[in-house]
Structure 1
Amino acid sequence: MLLVASFLVAFGTYFFLKPCNIAAGGISGAAIIINSIFHNIPIGMIMMGFEIFFFTLGIIVIGPVFGGKTIFCSFSISIIIWIMQNMYPNVKSFSNDTLMQLIFGILICGAGMGIVFNKNASTGGTDIIAKIINKYTKISIGKCVLIPDITVAIFATIVFGVDKGMYAILGIILNSTIIDRVIISLNTYKHVAIISSKGEEIKNYIMKELDRSATIYSAKGAYKNDENEVITTVLDRKQFLRLKEYIVKIDDKAFITVNEVNEVLGEGFSSMV
């Protein structure tokens, strides 16, 4: 997942943002600015220089696990861009519309960055600063990305002009929003409540096949005044689909309610710390 996410960030940066000189934050944006001034220095090499400094900072402040994942992602992005630059040295814009280039580039990069942050890593560079801010303030990671990236956007305005700078600021805002949306989407779970005559089989399936636990409530039906068990559990999307298929096979008259939850804390899910 981290390698796929790294490829998305590299692809969006090199093929969409770089041709239009859109420095939409991060070390990739800073590298684009420097490359536009010093054409002989490859973007990938510039990014590697930044990475060495920032990942050291990440290891010290956040920890070695985060640092190790970040090293992998940041160097993967740099190497992939370097390869792309050697294979396609004179890459041109897909569209003459700079706004379209920006939107597609940010969509691709933001999706990749959201996956990376969700795996408790970062793409390196200024994203490490964002992760550190997030650790101590609990502000959403997307909003934390805004803070260092705005600095890059200011330099982009100086180097590329007001128009490019405005595009960069728009890109940063879009990127922040997409990162948060991707993380929310990846952490969406299903809170399921089930009433069934095959309750024992369903409980065993949840625990043994899905490797999840469940909570049991006693309930009384208003229509027939009969006693029932309500089985509640929290599952990811794939687990819910498997459970639903199983329930349909053994009891197609079961009553199921499903709610989406955006965050689950505790054993088996995200840490509360």
Structure 2
Amino acid sequence: MEAVKRYGILTVGSVVLGISDYIFKFQNHFSFGGVSGIAVIMSGLLGGSASTYTFVINMLLLVVAFVLLGKEVAMRSAYVSVLYSVTLEVIQYVWPMSKPLTNQPVLELVFCFMIIAVCSAIFFNMNASSGGSDIIALILKKYTNVSIGTALLVVDFIVVIVAFFVYGVTVGLFSLAGFLAKSFFIDTVIESLNLCKYFTIISKNAEPICNYINAELNHGATIYDARGAYTKDNKQVVMTVVKREQARNLRNYVHKVDPDAFMMITNSSEIIGKGFIE
């Protein structure tokens, strides 16, 4: 059941990303970098469809991944990459477009990078990727000492600069703006998807709180004895991490069983351990 859910999300994300790139990115010649950005540049230089160039490049990279990185690594990128590429190839025949959807390029730029950022964050969060430049990163990691992040950033930036010469200053500036916005927005979305609440609860009635965390929220907790520096009262400190949607329930329950409890609630987007990232 978990595998069905996982592949269902990956399928929806791949199709949405493909449709978004075709409608917003390719029609406006936005070149943010990556394989799709290279395809847009090739379309401007050589003619032809950016969708077809994306399909061909991604398939070639998958073949290279099988040869240089092995079957296991290639298969992790194959599903999303193939589905995304096929979506791009099919939609150009189902919905032929010869011009942008609207006459508002700024609006289309915003939708384009937001959808790219959200879909990419979902893929990364599920240990998947849309292939393309991620495969190039894995090859660089295996065969060179080049910093992957730096190398990909440089390649993407070069694609953006080339857009200035191929499509003009206006498209080049839009591409640069999208490149910068996408880079920051992806990290924000990833953090939002992984956001959890870290509770430090100081209470005289810690046992029912721990029972509630274990039984109702299905999480663990750590408890230790403490003494107030001013009151000298003996209390207990409960530390736990819960999902964002569970935080309100825990806060209300603590307030119910111990109105005098002291709670410190902190946002955290990187929790490693059972029930979270393992």
| 1:194 counterpart = 2:201 | yes
- Deviation of residue 58 (structure 1)? 5.0
Partner deviation per Cα, 1:12-56 (whole Å, 9 max, x = no partner): 31111212111221111222233345555x444322222223235
- Deviation of residue 233 (structure 1)? 1.0
Choose from 223, 236, 249 the match for 2:243.
236
Counterparts in 2 of 1:66 and 1:216: CA distance versus 1, 3 Å: farther
Q: Distance in 2 between matches of 1:131 and 1:182?
A: 23
Counterparts in 2 of 1:91 and 1:234: CA distance versus 1, 3 Å: farther
- Deviation of residue 7 (structure 1)? 3.3
| 1:16 counterpart = 2:4 | no
Q: Distance in 2 between matches of 1:251 and 1:59?
A: 59
Q: Distance in 2 between matches of 1:144 and 1:191?
A: 36
CA contact (8 A) 1:12 1:106 kept: no
Choose from 9, 14, 20 the match for 1:6.
14
CA contact (8 A) 1:131 1:144 kept: no
Match of 1:52 in 2: 59
Q: Distance in 2 between matches of 1:20 and 1:118?
A: 29
**Map 1:25-64 → 2, pairs under 5 A:** 25-37=33-45, 40=48, 42-58=49-65
What residue identity is the alignment partner of 1:195?
Answer: I
What residue identity is the alignment partner of 2:26?
Answer: K
Match of 1:176 in 2: 183
CA contact (8 A) 1:8 1:111 kept: no
CA contact (8 A) 2:201 2:264 kept: yes
Counterparts in 2 of 1:173 and 1:234: CA distance versus 1, 3 Å: same
Q: Which runs of 5+ in 2 are unaligned?
A: 1-8
Match of 1:227 in 2: 234
- Counterpart of 2:97 in 1: which secondary structure? coil
Choose from 214, 217, 221 the match for 1:214.
221
Match of 1:185 in 2: 192
| 1:85 counterpart = 2:85 | no
| 1:256 counterpart = 2:277 | no
TM-score, with structure 1 as normaliser: 0.80
- Deviation of residue 70 (structure 1)? 1.9
Counterparts in 2 of 1:126 and 1:258: CA distance versus 1, 3 Å: same
TM-score, with structure 2 as normaliser: 0.79
- Counterpart of 1:121 in 2: which secondary structure? coil
Match of 2:166 in 1: 159
Count of paired positions? 269
Counterparts in 2 of 1:7 and 1:269: CA distance versus 1, 3 Å: same
Q: Distance in 2 between matches of 1:266 and 1:62?
A: 29
Match of 1:148 in 2: 155
- Deviation of residue 179 (structure 1)? 1.4
CA contact (8 A) 2:198 2:242 kept: yes
Q: Distance in 2 between matches of 1:245 and 1:67?
A: 47
CA contact (8 A) 1:35 1:43 kept: yes
Counterparts in 2 of 1:94 and 1:177: CA distance versus 1, 3 Å: same
- Deviation of residue 230 (structure 1)? 0.8
Q: Which runs of 5+ in 1 are unaligned?
A: none
CA contact (8 A) 1:102 1:167 kept: yes
CA contact (8 A) 1:126 1:148 kept: no
Match of 2:78 in 1: 71
Counterparts in 2 of 1:170 and 1:202: CA distance versus 1, 3 Å: same
- Deviation of residue 151 (structure 1)? 3.0
- Deviation of residue 127 (structure 1)? 3.1
- Counterpart of 1:92 in 2: which secondary structure? coil
| 1:205 counterpart = 2:197 | no
| 1:105 counterpart = 2:93 | no
- Counterpart of 1:213 in 2: which secondary structure? coil
